């Protein structure tokens, strides 16, 4: 029987696990990607956006005709804009001007008010996250989504993503590995899977320029280098990442990220965004370390069309030193 979903909101979640054939065959492991790009808003952030808004509704913080304000690198804002449309709210997004023009224009197409701001570190009072909180505090009938420190974010994945992975693998999963930005996807999924099987390894994947790898390894956040990836990496431990199981961390540089993204496209037929390159690159590296016979699950966060002007622009990659002329 074909199931009929109840609008946009009823379509969020229950995404399939995809066997990444080329990487699995190379390593002898089952490398599986949670196909979050198949969410109706096109990314894993649909889950967090839905839980954040419905949590605010339950608490009486967001009333009819209200506004949702968020500082976001793009995908959470896109999810929020879709859900605000579906529920009759207004949406105001503050986004670093360094993010891809595709995401910024999509937000405007969806009807969100978009304010682009200079990209500055979190310690700066004009950082896009802090600025969005101040803007929200000055408005009536408004919530600040606060995805980095709002635990509704990780609860979305504790209640949905983790259980889905457990059911889809019939409990036969050895490693959960994912990059983190807000930490919600990694954290909620790790918390659920670790409860089901304490022997399962939960590993943070991290791009260059982020301090999470050094934090896991040394206890101190010491970012080094830079990355072209968007929406992942952090120099601080968000509320969503506090008290979360982390067995290890693995760092993936941009060259490996780009190689992985293009292998996914050319050998697996999957047109993916940059964070997927970090995630699958980490899963691939772990598979080689562990040896054959393991099942490793990661996230296919979003599709490549949101990065067409950068990640899939060969002239741009040459400029970044990531592709030979």
**CA nearest neighbour of 113 among 147, 149, 85:** 85
Choose among 302, 299, 247, 297: nearest CA to 24. Answer: 297
Question: Token match 């994945």: residue?
Answer: 157
Residue 147 CB partners (closer than 8 Å, separation 6+):
48, 52, 70, 72, 76, 153, 182, 184
C-alpha 196/C-alpha 190 separation (Å) is 10
Cα gap 45→180, rounded to integer Å: 12
**Nearest-angstrom CA–CA distance, 206 and 217:** 12
Q: Tell me if residue 45 is catalytic.
A: yes
Q: Supply the DSSP symbol for 38.
A: G
Distances (CA, A) of 150 to 212, 243, 302, 307: 19, 14, 22, 27
d(CA 75, CA 179): 15
Query: Which listed residue (45, 103, 201, 310) is catalytic?
Result: 45
Q: Looking at the annotation, which residues are catalytic?
A: 45
């Amino acid at each position: 029987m074909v199931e009929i979903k109840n609008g946009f909101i009823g379509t969020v979640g229950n995404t399939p696990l995809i066997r990444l054939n080329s990487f699995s065959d190379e390593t002898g492991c089952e490398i599986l990607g949670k196909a979050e790009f198949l969410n109706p808003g096109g990314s894993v952030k649909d889950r967090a956006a839905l839980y954040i808004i419905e949590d605010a509704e339950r608490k009486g913080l967001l009333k009819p005709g209200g506004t949702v304000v968020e500082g976001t690198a793009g995908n959470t804002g896109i999810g929020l804009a879709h859900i605000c449309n579906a529920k009759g709210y207004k949406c105001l997004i503050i986004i670093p001007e360094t993010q891809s023009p595709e995401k910024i224009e999509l937000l405007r197409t969806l009807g969100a008010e978009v304010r682009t701001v200079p990209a500055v570190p979190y310690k700066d009072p004009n950082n896009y996250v802090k600025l969005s909180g101040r803007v929200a505090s000055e408005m009536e009938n408004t919530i600040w989504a606060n995805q980095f420190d709002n635990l509704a974010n990780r609860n979305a994945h504790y209640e949905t993503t983790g259980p889905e992975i457990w059911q889809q693998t019939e409990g036969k999963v050895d490693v959960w590995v994912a990059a983190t930005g807000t930490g919600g996807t990694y954290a909620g999924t790790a918390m659920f899977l670790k409860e089901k099987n304490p022997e399962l390894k939960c590993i943070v994947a991290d791009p260059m320029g982020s301090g999470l790898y050094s934090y896991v390894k040394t206890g101190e956040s010491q970012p080094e280098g830079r990355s072209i990836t968007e929406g992942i990496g952090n120099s601080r431990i968000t509320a969503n990442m506090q008290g979360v199981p982390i067995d290890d961390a693995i760092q993936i540089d941009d060259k490996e990220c780009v190689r992985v993204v293009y292998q996914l496209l050319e050998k697996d037929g999957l047109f993916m965004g940059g964070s997927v390159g970090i995630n699958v690159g980490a899963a691939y590296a772990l598979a080689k370390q562990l040896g054959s016979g393991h099942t490793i699950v990661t996230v296919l966060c979003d599709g490549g069309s949101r990065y067409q002007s950068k990640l899939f622009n060969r002239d741009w990659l040459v400029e970044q030193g990531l592709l030979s002329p």
